[in-house]
Amino acid sequence: MRPDLLELFEISELEKYYTDEELAEHPGRRG
């Protein structure tokens, strides 16, 4: 998914559908 679209969703929501590897690129994961 495009990074700008991923940013619209909360990490906790995305964790239901994506693996940790897939979410590693999410801006909300860095920090």
Specify the pLDDT at position 31. 46
Closest CA to 1 of 27, 22, 29: 22
Tens of pLDDT along 2-26? 778 877 888 888 889 888 888 887 7
Residue type, 15: E
Q: What is the SS3 string spanning 2-23?
A: CHHHHCCCCHHHHCCCCCHHHH
pTM of the model: 0.46
Residues 6+ apart with CB under 8 A from 28: 7, 10, 11
- Report domain extents, the chain: 1-31
Q: What is the distance in angstroms between the CA of the first residue and the CA of the last residue of the chain?
A: 21
Specify the pLDDT at position 24. 82
- Between these two residues, 2 and 30, which has the higher pLDDT value? 2
Specify the pLDDT at position 23. 80
